[in-house]
Structure 1
């Protein structure tokens, strides 16, 4: 019997996904939470220009060097775009994709467009305010304050320098706004890569998922009573949903192998 594929979780504009310890909450599979270039342990990595393409290449290298077998790729927010592009770049390394409110169109890049349009001085001032006041950041997202959530928010906000966030915001606006982006996403689902969609109940209505993506998705799950940062609000529920999706992918893969 095939073992379940490893789960590789790609964080969004504010990394990482380590803060709520998903590897302790998801027991059925091995969990990886790599940092993207410019984030966390890689915040000092010298990259001439941070782009979605350079982040995709970084993720593919990670899959080759650290995972070494086909995996399930999960991407949250900006990480959803990177996960889809990584699946297109290295289909032999990806058994399925879980897209968690990932960017499909520029309508999903509201915050990125705002950041990209600011002057350097204005953005650094805004970033300093964000880092200094995680409570306000949570409240603006409709998230009830608890000591644990505030600590996690503080960790996420301080995980990367303002230059990294600015570069990623500009990359998202430029690259997801290109017509070639959706064509690459379409090629992933048209080649048969299983796709799951996951959204928060409060934020689902603002997620601009094309009809053809919904049509091919294996499932579209809405996590109740949470918004875009669902893993910060209700990490156990989030990890339970994700684990169930990975297990379903594993069962489908075993059935396919048996029939073949």
Structure 2
């Protein structure tokens, strides 16, 4: 029996990063996982330029061309889903397929980012500081039971970037996904027959505004049971089984 090729997977985090906190490689031993920091996050948290979504995508495009070792599947969570779509449009030859995990398609998906972008700097700084100071309360407010492990992960997520990065990214989400050509970008990616898988949480997917024409062209819509928007924090093992099934079988049902 011929061994299956080992997939390469690029993880693109959302408004709050990163996606390395739950150690995805541990759950995906048969996948080459890379989770680079976006500008303004993690080891690049001091960057104050390149934070607009198209610029973030351009940086990842260079990474795929120069450092990734070959074409990759791209998984984008939330805002990262929009960046992943822009990336697939920029370098279609480097993107084998897309896994959009409740990724932004329209401004209806930008309810939290819209609120953040509209706040005065001082008000957002105070609100973000309160979240950092009480990560368990932040989880509970999001409908997530605050176990010790989840609280530790939440603390790491919130400390990963300054509040200024979050607000600048929030504004770019509105500017980018609200522009007429954003859905044009989605259409171009799908017209090239780039495989697209949609992954949502059972408790949050109903609020995800995916256009009907995108749904009709997606290879599969995958729902993670008993989870919401931050499904990889709530149940990383199930999340990674879904992702692995997509990469190896093209069918997430075997992973749920």
TM-score (norm 1): 0.93
Residue 192 of structure 1 corresponds to 193
Aligned match of 2:33: 31
How far is 1:69 from its partner?
1.0
State the alpha-carbon separation in 2 of the partners of residues 122 and 44 from structure 1: 21
Aligned 8 A contact 2:48 2:165 in 1: no
Question: Would the aligned equivalents of 1:101 and 1:207 in 2 still touch at CA under 8 Å?
Answer: yes
Alignment correspondent of 2:254: none
State the Cα distance separating 1:54 from its structure 2 match. Answer: 0.6
Q: Could you tell me which residue of structure 2 aligns to residue 257 of structure 1?
A: none
Contact 1:5–1:95 (CA under 8 A) maintained in structure 2: no
Residue 41 of structure 1: aligned partner: 43
Q: What's the CA shift string for 1:99-149, capped at 9, x where partnerless?
A: 000000000001100000000111111111111111111011110110000
Give distance in 1, aligned partners of 2:105 and 2:177: 7
Is 2:163 the counterpart of 1:172? no
- CA deviations on 1:59-105 (whole Å, 9 max, x unpaired) are 11111222131110000000000001100100000000000000000
> What's the counterpart of residue 137 of structure 1?
138
Q: What is the number of residues matched between the two proteins? A: 249
Computed over aligned residues only, the root mean square deviation of the Cα atoms, in angstroms, reads 1.3
Where do residues 1-260 of structure 1 align in structure 2 (5 Å cutoff)?
A: 3-47=5-49, 50-249=51-250
Residue aligned with 2:248, SS: helix
**Contact 1:96-1:249 within 8 A present in 2 as well:** no
Deviation at 1:249, TM superposition (A): 4.8
Gaps of 5+ in 1: 251-260
Asked if structure 1 preserves the Cα contact closer than 8 Å seen for 2:113 and 2:173, the reply is yes
- Looking at structure 2, the residues matched to 233 and 5 of structure 1 have their Cα atoms a distance apart, in angstroms, of 25
Q: Which runs of 4+ in 1 moved over 6 A?
A: none
Give the CA deviation at 1:4: 3.3
Following superposition, the deviation at residue 248 of structure 1 comes to 2.4
Specify the SS of the correspondent of 2:222.
Answer: strand
Indicate conservation of the 8 Å contact 1:9/1:73, yes or no. Answer: yes
SS in 2 for 1:67: coil
> Is the Cα contact below 8 Å between 2:7 and 2:30 reproduced in 1?
no
